[in-house]
């Protein structure tokens, strides 16, 4: 064993860009993803018995994080992006090793025509195509600690923002995506240091460009654009 990490699968989600992805897994339970296995792991034997669990741990790689040197501190978004904490006291993606950990709900196991298993999961906070290094069952009796202290993360767990999504714009999305878009926006994807009130933001989701702006205490959806449509341009 040489110690190198092997990609066992990749997850496919509606997020093709980092902006808008929930900051923690499980915050938007309606987000669905498909885990497709690679190489020798495209075998039903590899997931035998996994249907007996309701939740899974995913160990994965931050595939689009630009390394900017090794820092011992990070500025958590929940603290406004201005107060720094030790890197091991945060869940910042800028880590000594670009490894992430997420808990997801196992919704379904689908088998392709060749017998390859595909895991349908909910609540994932991962970019489309993210490499997965390992999958483990979530065990409530040992993985859940209701008495645990959550520091600043716990203090801000209920933080969200009101979303105004006009019905005429909702109708431009497939029905199954509308509520999920509202839930994603309610987490306020804007960076803590970049909460402009005179700016239109663009979030890529499921092939659409969701454009919104902040007005008062709410995010207002302004426009829905098909990213494949002629003339579409990314917001700078």
Q: In the chain, what are the domains?
A: 9-143 (2.40.30.70), 160-226 (3.30.2310.20)
Q: For the sheet containing 162-164, what is the strand order?
A: 162-164, 218-226, 208-215, 200-205
**Both tokens assigned to 41:** 């792991």
The whole-number pLDDT of residue 133 equals: 97
The whole-number pLDDT of residue 232 equals: 62
The whole-number pLDDT of residue 87 equals: 87
- Report the percentage of the chain scoring pLDDT > 90: 60
Give CA torsion, residues 148, 59, 189, 168, to 10 deg.
-110
- Report the percentage of the chain scoring pLDDT > 70: 90
**Both tokens assigned to 212:** 């919104």
CB 154 within 8 A of CB 70: no
Mean pLDDT of all residues in 70-81: 77
Q: How confident is the model at residue 157 (pLDDT cuts 50, 70, 90)?
A: low
The whole-number pLDDT of residue 91 equals: 84
Q: How confident is the model at residue 4 (pLDDT cuts 50, 70, 90)?
A: confident
pLDDT value at 68 more than 70 = no
The whole-number pLDDT of residue 195 equals: 80
Q: Which residue has the higher pLDDT, 3 or 214?
A: 214
Q: Which residues contact 49 (CB under 8 A, 6 or more apart)?
A: none
The whole-number pLDDT of residue 224 equals: 94
Q: What is the mean pLDDT of the chain?
A: 88
pLDDT value at 34 more than 70 = yes
Q: Which run of H or of E encompasses 142?
A: helix 140-143
Mean pLDDT of all residues in 103-110: 97
Q: What is the pLDDT of residues 107-127, one digit of tens each?
A: 999 999 888 999 999 999 999
Most confidently modeled of 30-44, 52-66, 139-153, 219-233?
30-44
Give CA torsion, residues 121, 119, 66, 6, to 10 deg.
150
Q: How confident is the model at residue 200 (pLDDT cuts 50, 70, 90)?
A: very high
CA nearest neighbour of 79 among 176, 191, 161: 191
Angle, alpha carbons 188-168-124 (nearest 5°): 35
Q: Are strands 73-74 and 208-215 parallel, antiparallel or unpaired?
A: unpaired
Q: Hunting for tokens 């509308």 — which residue is that? A: 178
Q: Where on the phi/psi map is residue 172: left (φ > 0), alpha (ψ -120 to 50), or beta?
A: alpha
Dist. CA 212–CA 56, nearest whole Å: 33
The whole-number pLDDT of residue 201 equals: 93
CA nearest neighbour of 103 among 182, 41, 29: 29
The whole-number pLDDT of residue 155 equals: 61
* Predicted structure pTM score: 0.88
Strands (E), 78-206: 85-86, 99-111, 117-122, 130-137, 162-164, 200-205
The whole-number pLDDT of residue 1 equals: 41
DSSP bridge partners of 215:
218
């Amino acid at each position: 064993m040489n110690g190198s990490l092997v990609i066992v699968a990749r997850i496919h989600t509606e997020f093709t860009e980092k902006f808008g992805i929930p900051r923690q897994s499980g915050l938007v339970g309606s987000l669905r993803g498909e885990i497709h296995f690679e190489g020798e792991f495209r075998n039903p034997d590899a997931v035998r018995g996994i249907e007996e669990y309701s939740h899974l741990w995913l160990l994965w790689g931050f595939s689009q994080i630009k390394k900017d040197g090794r820092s011992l501190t990070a500025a958590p978004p929940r603290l406004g992006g201005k107060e720094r904490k030790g890197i091991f006291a945060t869940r910042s993606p800028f880590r000594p090793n670009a490894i992430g950990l997420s808990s997801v709900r196992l919704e379904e196991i689908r088998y392709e025509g060749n017998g390859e298993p595909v895991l349908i999961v909910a609540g994932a906070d991962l970019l489309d195509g993210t490499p997965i290094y390992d999958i483990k069952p979530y065990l409530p009796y040992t993985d859940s600690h209701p008495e645990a202290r959550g520091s600043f993360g716990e203090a801000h767990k209920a933080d969200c923002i009101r979303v105004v999504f006009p019905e005429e714009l909702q109708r431009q999305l497939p029905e199954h995506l509308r509520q999920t878009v509202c839930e994603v926006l309610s987490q306020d994807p804007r960076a803590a240091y970049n909460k402009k009130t005179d700016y239109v933001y663009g979030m890529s989701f499921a092939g659409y460009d969701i454009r919104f702006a902040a007005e008062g205490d709410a995010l207002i959806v302004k426009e829905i654009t098909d990213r494949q449509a002629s003339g579409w341009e990314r917001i700078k």
